[in-house]
Amino acid sequence: MFQPLIILALAVSASALNNGLMKTPPMGWLAWERYRCDIDCDNDPKNCISEKLFMDMADRLSEDGWRELGYTYINIDDCWSSKDRDKDGRLQADPKRFPSGIKKLADYMHVRGLKLGIYGDMGTYTCGGYPGTPLDKITLDAQTFAEWEVDMFKYDGCYSNDTEQAQGYPLMSKALNATGRPIGYSCSWPAYQGGLPPKVDYDLLGDICNLWRNYDDIQDSWDSVLAIVDWFFKNQDILIPAAGPGKWNDPDMLIIGNFGLSMDQSRSQMALWAIMAAPLFMSNDLRTLNSGARAILQNKMIISINQDPLGIQGKRILQDKSHIEVFWRPLSNNASALVFFSRRTDMPYRFKTSLATLNYTVGSYKVTDVYTYETTTVKDSTEFVVSVNPTGVVMWYVSAPAKVNSRLFFRGSHIRTFDHEEVPNNIPSLL
Ligand SMILES: *[C@@H]1O[C@H](CO)[C@@H](O)[C@H](O)[C@H]1NC(C)=O
Ligand SMILES: *[C@@H]1O[C@H](CO)[C@@H](O)[C@H](O)[C@H]1NC(C)=O
Ligand SMILES: *[C@@H]1O[C@H](CO)[C@@H](O)[C@H](O)[C@H]1NC(C)=O
Ligand SMILES: *[C@@H]1O[C@H](CO)[C@@H](O)[C@H](O)[C@H]1NC(C)=O
């Protein structure tokens, strides 16, 4: 009589999917936004969904400094498989575009210190019309992915209904676990349920998935980035408690390096994704990436903010009438990140505030602009001005405060000021 109750209690108290993976947001590269379902390898061999594309990107990740920064996943999305399962009912890669097969592709990643992700769909078909993984195929497909030594699985939701999703997403989690291979699990379930309670149960998602898409697919445009940012921060009070080590909200891929964003907008996407503790999956062409985009995507301070071990998702703390918005994320070592974001479309705006206005406690803070690496010391009461470009950001790493000593202060005779050496020097370890 009592045992089921105890098991239930344990299940409820479990805080994250117990596969030991993704204690910080996963990073890597994902094919979809840039390459979609381009299967025309005869006419577009460099860009079609084929093993060659994933090997090219793996070469770039391992040779151009990405892997060392944490970008280790290379993820296949839709349109990789044959239109038919094999004679044993198993999924198989398209023989023309993936002649070596997925296992060989996984080996290719592993010898380079990278990981391979693959894609499937909870319904009868994938969104692109390839064979899905409905309820009766879940165990078999999980075993197939494990045999191929795949490291991550994105489970999309086209051509399935609410009832099937409610069964299928937890069942896949169990099936992946039962393979014995740790496989990161990305669930598109909430995106198909409107992303909000009561339809979406974020406690359950945290127990069964490592990350989940909450909202619409990103497109290669600033409008799309803004729509995503608006939705995530409008709903921040619901989304923030859902996230933590091993379980992440996923606002979708980084489109930096493509065609839709200016440099300022690219800096904004990177900064806001770091505030959101978002997975950092680039979907771009690493073979031809320009140096500006590369510098943004390889910015060590922003990456270390994104990867902060506390894993607390940040929030919007101010929507000023000037159309400057301020975002804040608490970080380990009592540090924090601040983003000043301009929704203006006229000219750089000189936004004046103080850390006290932003509710920082009394003290003297060492502040580093993560894009310029300029460092200054700012007291909580000091008014400062940041110049924020239209659709751009200024992003700061704010070190722990050197506290004003209250006893000295109240004695009144010595009001301490801090010189440079006394300010904690705990900028992120990657720097
Ligand atoms: C499967 O789940 C159990 C219990 O939560 C956990 O201890 C184990 O590490 C998991 N294994 C894999 C491969 O995810
Ligand atoms: C969902 O799909 C299944 C299988 O096609 C079907 O049996 C079931 O009635 C559907 N449920 C709803 C609520 O539409
Ligand atoms: C952070 O601040 C709190 C409260 O001021 C303090 O007790 C704690 O020791 C600090 N932690 C670190 C890692 O500096
Ligand atoms: C600072 O705290 C006050 C009082 O709790 C609150 O009204 C205000 O919105 C906060 N400001 C910011 C920027 O968080």
Per-residue pLDDT tens digits for 231-243: 999 999 999 999 9
pLDDT digits (tens, 9 = 90+) for 330-370: 999 999 999 999 999 999 999 999 999 999 999 999 999 99
3-state helix, strand, coil in the chain (%, to 5): 30, 20, 45
Q: What span, in angstroms and rounded, lies between the C-alpha atoms of 327 and 407?
A: 33
pLDDT for res 403 = 73
- Catalytic site residues? 156, 217
* 375-379 and 336-342 strand pairing: unpaired
> Mean pLDDT score of the chain, rounded to an integer?
92
Pocket of ligand 4 (CB under 6 A): 317-318, 358-359
Is the C-alpha dihedral spanning 277, 279, 284, 285 positive or negative?
A: positive
**Ordered domains of the chain (ranges, CATH):** 3-306 (3.20.20.70), 315-422 (2.60.40.1180)
pLDDT at position 219 is 98
- Asked if the model's pLDDT at residue 10 lies above 60, the reply is no
**Confidence band, pLDDT 50/70/90 cuts, at residue 118:** very high
Residues in contact with 406: Cβ distance below 8 Å, sequence separation at least 6, in sequence order: none
pLDDT tens sequence across 49-71: 999 999 999 999 999 999 999 99
Convert the pLDDT of each residue in 360-402 to its tens digit: 999 999 999 999 999 999 999 999 999 999 999 999 999 999 8
List C-alpha distances in Å: 35 to 48, 319, 419.
7, 36, 53
For residues 122 and 160, is the Cβ–Cβ distance under 8 A? yes
CA 18 to ligand 1 centroid distance, Å: 5
pLDDT above 50: residue 134? yes
pLDDT recorded at residue 5: 36
Say whether pLDDT at 278 is over 60. yes
> 93 CA to middle of ligand 1, Å?
28
C-alpha 269/C-alpha 1 separation (Å) is 52
Which residues contact residue 306 at a Cβ distance below 8 angstroms, ignoring those fewer than 6 apart?
24, 25, 27, 273, 274, 277, 278, 280
163 CB within 6 A, ligand 2: yes
87: β partners: none
